[in-house]
Amino acid sequence: MQIEPSYVSVLASVLSAHGHNPSVIGRIPSRPLDEDAFFVLCSRAVEATGDKALGLKFGAALQLGGHGVLGHALMSCRTLKQAAELLVRHNPLRSRHGRVRLAFNNGRTLLGFTPAFEVPGAPHFLCDVFFAAATNGIRQLLGRELARAEIELAYFPEVSRETYDHHLRVPVIFGATSNRLIGPENIMDAPLQAAVVATAPAYLRQCELLLRQMEAAGGHESSVRRLLLSSRGRFPSAPDIADALNLSERTLRRRLNAEGTSYQAIVNDVRNHLARQYLIDTDLSVADIGTLIGFEDLSNFRHAFQKWNGVSPSRFRHEKRRTYEASEDESPKAEESGTKHVPSEGR
């Protein structure tokens, strides 16, 4: 389990929005929290508020854009199935004790969840967080409400059914044999919209962040970069970019040439930047990363990345993480989250 600092910021905002002092969970950490530290943080929040619906409120407040580069990857997926598979493999609530499962059976999609721990005072906190965040994320990806979906929970509610209806917005069955979200399988392969109102603000904020990290030049080069990043992984052709900028393709190419670049050079630079960010900041597989940036063939992606960076994607990830770990070892140890380590046993 690796809980990003942005999630802690969301929880602090939820506490504040409901009249509670966010300082009860300590300072916002600068590094991801492990399972034990997250357990302590959740326990503090529940104990301080006494709010048994806090998990639902927290999960419903999580936006895809708040997942950082992983959120950018999810919103770049071509289908809901691809996004679901990524989220299952890299869900922040997945750990040595908790599990996330995706299965297909008799025309149904089954997304199951086993929580890593129970929070004192709100034993279903993690389940509430997971399903509220999952339904919210799927709505953002689809750009509409979930049709013909329901949630089965292996417990009975400690708050009103209306509270679950408000935050989950799908029918809920309590006292089931397992915790799972059930929906139609045929929706999984439908193409996701290129842009939807619900996700656009968060996605565009992530695009702007990536643009700043790329230190993009001004002029038409910057405009092309922005359009490429906003295309959600489906890089448009030069004629499409020119049309979006109200230019002819010939004029666009001439102006990019005057700026010392070309459309293909910008595409390669954006692809390379995204690939490097995904390799450093996520655990996405090399194959998944290649697909997200427009390479259907893994060998073609590896060849291109080697050409751009002089090393393979796997080698690049290994070297960057080894460098990061070395710098961490040389840094003084500090309790970033304001919590102490609590062993998992005995919860």
Identify the architecture of domain 5-187 in CATH.
Alpha-Beta Complex (3.90)
Task: Using a pLDDT cut of 70, give the percent of the chain over it.
Answer: 84
Domain residue ranges of the chain, discontinuous segments joined by +: 5-187, 215-328
pLDDT reported for residue 347:
47
Give domain 215-328's CATH number out of 3.30.465.10, 1.10.150.530, 3.30.360.10, 1.10.10.60: 1.10.10.60
Domain 5-187 shares a fold with domain 215-328: no
When mean pLDDT is compared across 173-182, 262-271, 273-282, the lowest value belongs to: 273-282
Tell me the per-residue pLDDT of 162-189, one tens digit each, with 9 for 90 and over: 999 999 999 999 999 999 999 888 888 8
Asked whether the beta carbons of 118 and 197 are under 8 A apart, the reply is no
- Which pLDDT value is given to residue 169? 92
pLDDT at res. 233:
60
Average pLDDT over residues 134-146: 83
Residue-level pLDDT at 195: 46
Closest by alpha carbon to 134, among 176, 172, 160, 189? 172
C-alpha separations of 257 from 7, 104, 215, 219, 262 in Å: 43, 50, 19, 12, 6
C-beta atoms surrounding 286 within 10 Å: 19
Read off the amino acid at residue 192: L
The confidence score (pLDDT) of residue 310 equals 92
**What pLDDT digit, counting tens, does each position of 284-326 carry?**
888 888 888 888 888 999 999 999 999 999 999 888 777 755 5
pLDDT over 50 at 251, yes or no: yes
pLDDT band at 148 (very low <50, low <70, confident <90, very high): confident
* CA pair distance 119, 269, nearest whole angstrom: 45
What is the per-residue pLDDT for 343? 37
Interval 105-111 mean pLDDT:
88
